[in-house]
Amino acid sequence: MKPAPFRMYAPHTVAQAVATLAALEAEGQHAKVLAGGQSLVPVLAMRLAEPGHLVDINGVAGLDAIDVSSAGVRVGALVRHAELLRHAEANRVQPLLSQALNLVAHATIRNRGTTVGSLAHADPSGEMTAVLVLTGGSVTAVSVRGEREIPAAEFFVGPLESSLAADELALSAFFPAAPAGAGTAFVEMARRHGDYALSGVGAVVIPGPSRDEGAPTISVSCGFLSVSETPLVLDLSDAWAAGEDSVMAVVRAAIDPQDDIHASADYRRHITGILAVRAIREALARVREEQAA
Amino acid sequence: MTTSVTPGTAVPGETRRVVELTVNGVHRSAEVDVRRTLADFLRHDLALTGTHVGCEHGVCGACTVLLDGLPVRSCLLFAATVSGHSITTIEGLGQLQPDGTTKVSPVQQAFRDCHALQCGFCTPGMLTTITAGLAENPHPTAQQAVDMISGNLCRCTGYQNIVEAVLRAAELMENPDAPLPDEGFTADEHAKGDA
Ligand SMILES: Cc1cc2nc3c(=O)[nH]c(=O)nc-3n(C[C@H](O)[C@H](O)[C@H](O)COP(=O)(O)OP(=O)(O)OC[C@H]3O[C@@H](n4cnc5c(N)ncnc54)[C@H](O)[C@@H]3O)c2cc1C
Ligand code: FES
Ligand code: FES
């Protein structure tokens, strides 16, 4: 349970960090960025990976900012989950952040783990991966070649695989603001509070003017975790208009959960339908609270 | 769209590093492998064996210490990464008295009052976690006490007495002389009160 030997690099600037990653890449070396270490260190301890080089970004200046504007929330690479969870202004602009962060691991892990690190880790059971896709956010990456913005839909390639190149550093993530009048909610089921979820669902509902001359319609979208290889988002507006049974049927048909030691695929499929209905109901209740206030 | 970045120079890698930490208020340093975890640094290099190591992958919470006042898993941190910071371990929770003896902290006293440990393996992690938890929320409900310790595994007690100890510690922090109720606390009663 001890990591294999490696060399550690401690850059102080982003320029040094990406130059170091580029030099290691040019030498054909296997290098990894070390942020909070809450996913990477267990992987090293169990020797599931033995990278020869770790570029520790904890001493890099300027990566710890949370910038909030009416457009959304930009989160720097060294912002710990706990800091974002406590940031009142960020959570006013995009309430899904704290709704989901409350369910990310335990408080002790959140004190160290970074939100951007959990995106880079690209775990389909990670709450923040689902939030990034559901909100239509993006990740800004930097390398010696320059900076680029990667939309959420292109960021997650497979389980534990992002579209970051080996010599790229994720600088920040951007979560767009919740649309005006929208209600959001995040619900999940885990064996114990703080464990990785068996299944989880985030919902965004936006009451809108009538699409046809009929009844007023609401736009409903849900993001899912632990039930597909990459974070999945479904537009459930029509299904919701047809009723809760229809939501459950559409969701269960769209997801692809796996069996594991914690739950069977069938059980996950079953509860995910229910969780989707719960998330939508909760988000709608928030819309009503807003309207009443 | 690609914008240019200021060119930088690669930094050299190291396999050993001198780590400097303030541990329980005392400056300590040692040269160690960069792969040394903070837990092993405390136990092997500083001989502070109060911090326990159970799972070594972040799940059990036995190794929890306070980093600049906040609880973290010391098995998931490399000592080199936190060099320069301040650490509190179980050895640092008690208060040193003028006569050189150490007085246990309110959380430690509460564990004694409520019989909140059996083998004691999980206890250092429980005490550090609860110390920080009560600093943030000095008046937890029984449910909040359960949440506070939900990241720490105990194989002996069944948790009920630990939950009681959290509530008792909150009481002792308010009034160090608070008497123990004759029949003792029961977490069940608190839970009923919250429902
Ligand atoms: C017991 C336990 C329970 C947990 N439960 C949950 C949970 O329920 N939900 C959840 O979402 N997470 C959970 N986590 C994981 C936690 O959220 C991690 O903090 C997060 O996944 C990774 O963030 P980090 O900063 O620790 O990254 P690290 O562990 O440092 O890195 C993770 C990976 O991302 C890469 N990386 C990190 N930052 C960057 C960057 N800026 N640029 C490029 N690459 C980067 C690393 O190279 C590595 O491959 C849990 C962890 C533990 C130990
Ligand atoms: S030893 Fe660190 S969490 Fe188990
Ligand atoms: S007292 Fe033995 S593990 Fe908790």
Task: Give the minimum alpha-carbon distance from B86 to chain A in angstroms, rounded to a whole number.
Answer: 15
Picking from B75, B31, B126, B22, the residue whose alpha carbon sits closest to that of residue A112 is B75
Task: Give the minimum alpha-carbon distance from B144 to chain A in angstroms, rounded to a whole number.
Answer: 12
User: Residue B137 corresponds to which tokens in the numbers above?
Assistant: 């929320």
Name the residue among B34, B35, B58 with its Cβ closest to that of A109. Answer: B58
AA identity, residue A1: M
Q: Are B90 and B61 in contact (CB under 8 A)?
A: no
Tell me, yes or no, if B187 comes closer than 8 A to chain A by beta carbon.
no
Burial (CB count <10 Å: 0-12, 13-18, 19+), residue B39: buried
Q: Classify A7-56 by CATH class.
A: alpha beta
Separation CA A128–CA A117 (nearest Å): 10
Q: Are strands A138-143 and B102-103 parallel, antiparallel or unpaired?
A: unpaired
Ligand 1 site-directed mutation target among B59, B60, B150, B153, most atoms within 8 Å of CB: B59
Same fold: A66-176 with A183-288: no
Nearest atom (ligand 1) to Cα of A141: 42
Separation CA A42–CA A36 (nearest Å): 11
> In the predicted model, what is the mean pLDDT of residues B77-88?
97
pLDDT in tens, chain A (293 residues): 899 999 999 999 999 999 999 999 999 999 999 999 999 999 999 999 999 999 999 999 999 999 999 999 999 999 999 999 999 999 999 999 999 999 999 999 999 999 999 999 999 999 999 999 999 999 999 999 999 999 999 999 999 999 999 999 999 999 999 999 999 999 999 988 788 999 999 999 999 865 555 555 899 999 999 999 999 999 999 999 999 999 999 999 999 999 999 999 999 999 999 999 999 999 999 999 888 88
Separation CA B106–CA B100 (nearest Å): 19
Domains located in chain B, CATH noted: 16-92 (3.10.20.30), 95-194 (1.10.150.120)
Per-residue confidence band for B192, with pLDDT thresholds at 50, 70 and 90: very low
Helix/strand number for chain B, H first, E second: 6, 7
Helix/strand number for chain A, H first, E second: 12, 14
N-terminal to C-terminal alpha carbon distance within chain A? 54
In this predicted structure, what is the pLDDT of residue B71? 98
Tell me, yes or no, if B94 comes closer than 8 A to chain A by beta carbon.
no
Residues 6+ apart with CB under 8 A from A201: A186, A187, A188, A222, A223, A224, A225, A272, A275, A276, A278, A279
| Residues facing B37 on adjacent strands | B78
Nearest atom (ligand 2) to Cα of B76: 2
In this predicted structure, what is the pLDDT of residue B4? 54
Do the Cβ atoms of B9 and A106 come within 8 Å?
no
Picking from A25, A32, A26, A24, the residue whose alpha carbon sits closest to that of residue A57 is A32
What is the number of residues in chain B? 195
- Domain A66-176 sits in CATH at 3.30.465.10
Q: Are A63 and A42 in contact (CB under 8 A)?
A: no
Residues 6+ apart with CB under 8 A from B24: B87, B88, B89, B91, B92
| Residue range A183-288 in CATH 3.30.1200.10 | no
Separation CA A176–CA A38 (nearest Å): 26
Picking from A190, A225, A6, the residue whose alpha carbon sits closest to that of residue A119 is A225
Residue B182 has pLDDT above 90, yes or no: no
Q: Where are the domains of chain A?
A: 7-56, 66-176, 183-288
Instruction: Decide: helix, strand or coil at residue B13.
Output: coil
> In the predicted model, what is the mean pLDDT of residues B132-156?
96
The whole-model pTM stands at: 0.94
Q: Which residue of chain A is at minimal alpha-carbon distance from B53? A: A1
Name the residue among B5, B56, B64 with its Cβ closest to that of A15. Answer: B5
Residues 6+ apart with CB under 8 A from B158: none
Output the average pLDDT for chain B.
91
Contacts of B56 in chain A (CB under 8 A): 1-2, 45
In this predicted structure, what is the pLDDT of residue B190? 53
